[in-house]
Amino acid sequence: MKRIVVLSCNESADYFFYLPIVEWAWHKLGWDVAVFAPEGLELPPKQSDGESDVYYIPKIDGVRSGTLAQTVRHFASNVLPKDAYIQVNDIDLIPFKEWNPDLNKKTIYGWELTGRSFIPVHYTGMMGSDWYDIMGCTGDLKADMERE
């Protein structure tokens, strides 16, 4: 089964600076990578032979680019395969060891770190079809993000 880690960034070099090494690490561990970035942002050069798919984050008036970068990950199933395991992750978290969640279950790693008061934006994964249903996706990425 295809495993896709979803990374996103805004224009802040503090975050997209990490993309090449994080992308390389996920590819090394056998994951595909989907990167969501603001349109027109020049991403750093790739550090691996693996190809990552790049998608553009829709602009929404009155919403900060950092908020859009976090929100888009939850709606990635609008454009990613429904039959793949999709895991959202922070662009500045580098995996140093194998990460093999049970692909038949929904995974919320680190929930205890938030006191179970909110679901963390990293290491949360499930089938693309589950993301699509749970997030109420319609196939229109921008409209779904605006709704939320």
pLDDT tens digits, residue range 35-75? 999 887 777 666 556 678 889 999 999 999 999 999 999 99
**What are the start-end ranges of the E strands in the chain?**
3-8, 32-38, 53-57, 85-88, 107-108, 124-127
Residue 14 phi/psi, 5-degree rounding, is: -60, -25
Residues 6+ positions from 40 with CB-CB distance below 8 Å: none
User: Cα-flanking dihedrals φ and ψ of residue 39, to 5°?
Assistant: -60, 135
Q: Can you tell me the distance from the alpha carbon of 109 to that of 65, in angstroms, rounded to the nearest whole number? A: 25
Q: Beta strand pairing status for 53-57 and 32-38?
A: parallel
Which stretches in the chain have pLDDT values below 70? 44-50
